[in-house]
Structure 1
Amino acid sequence: MGADLTTVSLSLGSNIERYRHINRGLNALEAAFGALLCSPVYESEAVGFDGNAFLNMIAAIETEHSLSEVVQILKNIEDQNGRDRQGPKFSPRTLDIDVVTYGNAAGELEGVEMPRPELFKNAFVALPLADIWPDRMVPGRTLSFLELWQQEGNHRQELRAVEFRRDRTL
């Protein structure tokens, strides 16, 4: 790890042409940031609206970019994958990519709450982070990602691990 690089975790989700859009998102992230550390992929029911089930996962990157620069890159990737920003907040998504953690930032950073509050609410964020970083400490907390999942995870949200194959041709 380079001295000037920040480790960032990203939550990816899709419930429209799910496998295609998750693959396209991963390919675009890899092109923008280099190597990815990827969690298993989980299927979960839509939260906040009636809709098709989502595929969700976490991808971790290392970057020199600021949080606001990372967020802009993610919005561009979402837009390139047909993201509709005109609909309601809770609605079907071709591709949704959110920063969950940015280094060890805890609290407001560049106008964004870190870690992202969804980490503490949604199993499809907490469990994949526990998968890739079981022993890493949650920024601003005195417990690891695995302990967070075990002690505070939303176990009412049903997750199903699904087989997922990377397709770098999309």
Structure 2
Amino acid sequence: MNTVYIGIGTNIDRHKHIEAGLRELEQLGGNLTASTIYECDAVGFESQSFFNLVAKLDTLLSLDELATNLREIEIRWGRPCNAEKNQPRTLDLDILMFGDLVSEKPTLPRDDIYKFAFVIQPLFEMSPDLVIPGTTQTVKQVWQTKQSLLTQELTKVEPWFDINN
């Protein structure tokens, strides 16, 4: 059993796709928990703002199986197969950490942890004492170090459904 952290984002029909993404993740393992949902501006392109959060899940799936399932979920919920970076998204599901695995392809832990407030803030909220695989740093230490560098505004979104149930 691996504990995985998955970044979830959407800026198209945001309420529908956040809820759908979490419901789909429930089918891939157990003990699903979700962070606060945050609204923030699109990064790298002009578009409607995003809703972002992080989900934590225990799964028996292998990394390849999980990645395949996440891609199928994204496509099922309207993401084009040929979607490029810096485009609006119906649903974006990114593996941030997969147990203690350190990998180059895919890059794990995902470097978004160090780049984006909408990733490190929810991780800090969920698991501040978690040591990031391949490092000696906890999520809290990364959050403290990066907090002043990450200027992106995050606004908490009041949940419209019971996220952790």
The answer to whether the aligner puts 1:122 opposite 2:121 as a matched pair is no
The match for 1:95 is: 91
The answer to whether the aligner puts 1:37 opposite 2:36 as a matched pair is no
SS at match of 1:35: strand
Consecutive unaligned residues of structure 2, counting only runs of 5 or more, are none
Consecutive unaligned residues of structure 1, counting only runs of 5 or more, are none
The match for 1:148 is: 142
**CA gap 1:72/1:101 in 2 versus in 1, 3 angstroms:** same
RMSD, matched Cα = 1.5
| Partner Cα separation in structure 2 for residue 28 and residue 22 of structure 1 | 10
The match for 1:10 is: 6
Match of 1:135 among 115, 129, 133: 129
Aligned residue pairs, count = 162
**What is the aligned-residue identity percentage?**
39
Q: Contact 2:115–2:150 (CA<8 Å) still a contact in 1? A: no
Match of 1:70 among 49, 66, 87: 66
Q: Contact 1:115–1:139 (CA<8 Å) still a contact in 2? A: yes
| Partner Cα separation in structure 1 for residue 132 and residue 111 of structure 2 | 12
SS at match of 1:93: coil
Q: Which amino acid is 2:6 matched to?
A: L
The match for 2:18 is: 22
Q: Contact 1:106–1:113 (CA<8 Å) still a contact in 2? A: yes
Q: Contact 1:13–1:57 (CA<8 Å) still a contact in 2? A: yes
Would you identify which runs of 4 or more consecutive aligned residues in structure 1 move more than 6 Å?
none
Q: Which amino acid is 1:157 matched to?
A: Q
Q: Contact 1:23–1:167 (CA<8 Å) still a contact in 2? A: no
Q: Which amino acid is 1:73 matched to?
A: N
Q: Contact 2:33–2:55 (CA<8 Å) still a contact in 1? A: yes
Q: Contact 2:124–2:140 (CA<8 Å) still a contact in 1? A: yes
1:33: how far off?
Answer: 1.9
TM-score between the two structures when normalised by the length of structure 1: 0.90
TM-score between the two structures when normalised by the length of structure 2: 0.92
Structure 1 residues 68-88: Cα deviation after superposition (integer angstroms, max 9, x where no partner): 110000011111100123343
| Partner Cα separation in structure 2 for residue 34 and residue 106 of structure 1 | 23
The answer to whether the aligner puts 1:157 opposite 2:157 as a matched pair is no
